[in-house]
Homo-oligomer: A and B are copies of this chain.
């Protein structure tokens, strides 16, 4: 389904999706497509479309949507051309889906009624819902576990895409870690995010295989000054000191890869670290408020740094408890390192021991993990009092290339051509 084979003839748009359903003619007739018509239940929420093209990929500084479906893929072909063709198909499908359209055609595909539909259909009638789709390349895409350069790109591997070190206390599940490619789908409707991931997996059949995937909700970090700071599953505001899209100078300094930072193809991109962190909420919930606040370094209600009155008051870092999270992660104690965090809460059922399997799917974008995530995490993993309540489960690192400039561009063009 390259861009050219996706038929752009769409005779009938979904209109008036309500109790009465779609007009029968639209269903029985030619291709079915998503429109930009809001379901009653969604009216008023953040339903619009977010631009797909640009200097940077959407979904990084985009004000964090409320739902996440994240997936890491293994590439199962050794054929570079097939991989590149899939990236082109993905780019075309992502451009369509983020605009609130179907990935392909639901009905007869190019006149072949026996073909499977080119869209799975579960987002029919749903609006764009702020969908963004963001792609990244893992270290193993450049050189696999056996050291093989499957796709002739080993020389282009950025030094910043170094394997992450082992951190004290980490007992990680390898099957939930790493990956050759990642796709982050964020939207204000989980059905739209799931639809996007599923259709990219469908398009990639034979080229990629799902390695692991994660759903999340209730973004734990705002990425814009226009958003209130949400709460994590410890009940605390999380992300008050996050980098924000309005801080252009800081983003240049801490988020976007700059010319000369490494191989030119990553200029305008960013490095993503993910960590799935189980939070032992049952133990936390038996801890006193004073203890919780001392561990975090903030007041639970207001989110103000301990001893301060307002959430956005600057903390007096030296006055905070020495093993508090806010102190240990503060730029003043980490050579000024800052991150753009974009994590989500998760609940994956229960653990068989009577407890919820809940926590934080941590995601952080940055210009160079060697200077940002790694030293901060080293500090936290050694000293953070919060570790008693955390169980890191997985870790991954991806190089997210710059944005797609237009219809002739595709994810990874700068890497593969």
Contacts and interface: CB of A to CB of B under 8 A. Distances in A.
Given A20-B311, A190-B217, A210-B350, A300 B27 contact: yes
A299 to B, nearest CB: 4
Contacts of A323: none
A349 B214 contact: yes
Interface stretch (A84-92, A153-161, A286-294): A286-294
Pairs of residues from A and B, 10 with the lowest C-beta to C-beta distance, nearest first = A44-B44, A121-B235, A24-B309, A27-B302, A21-B311, A209-B354, A27-B301, A191-B218, A32-B301, A190-B217
Interface string A63-74: 000110101001
Contacts of A28: 299, 301-302, 304, 309
Contacts of A345: 122, 191, 194
Contact of A39 (B114, B228, B237, B356): B228
Given A21-B304, A40-B226, A124-B301, A349 B348 contact: yes
Interface string A13-39: 000011111111111100010000001
Contact of A226 (B19, B106, B228, B299): B19
A108 interface: yes
A260 to B, nearest CB: 36
A289 B113 contact: yes
A183 to B, nearest CB: 12
B212 A350 contact: yes
A46 interface: yes
Contacts of A285: 116-117, 120, 198, 202
A41 interface: yes
Interface string A194-213: 10011001100100011111
B25 A309 contact: yes
Given A301-B107, A350-B210, A40 B120 contact: no
A111 interface: no
A20 B215 CA distance: 29
Given A345-B191, A347-B213, A23 B302 contact: yes
Nearest to A63: B41
Contacts of A44: 43-45
Contacts of A225: 19
Contacts of A303: 21-22, 27
Contacts of A190: 67, 190, 217-218
A373 interface: no
A319 interface: no
A361 B41 CA distance: 21
Chain A interface: which size bin?
35 or more
B24 A235 contact: no
A121 B281 CA distance: 12
A194 B358 contact: yes
Contacts of A107: 289, 301
A288 B115 contact: yes
A229 interface: yes
B301 A228 contact: no
A137 to B, nearest CB: 19
Contacts of A237: 21
Contacts of A106: 235, 289, 300-301
Given A228-B40, A356-B213, A235 B114 contact: no
A355 B164 CA distance: 27
A107 B28 CA distance: 60
Interface string A125-139: 100000000000000
B236 A301 contact: no
Interface string A152-191: 0000000000000000000000010000000000000111
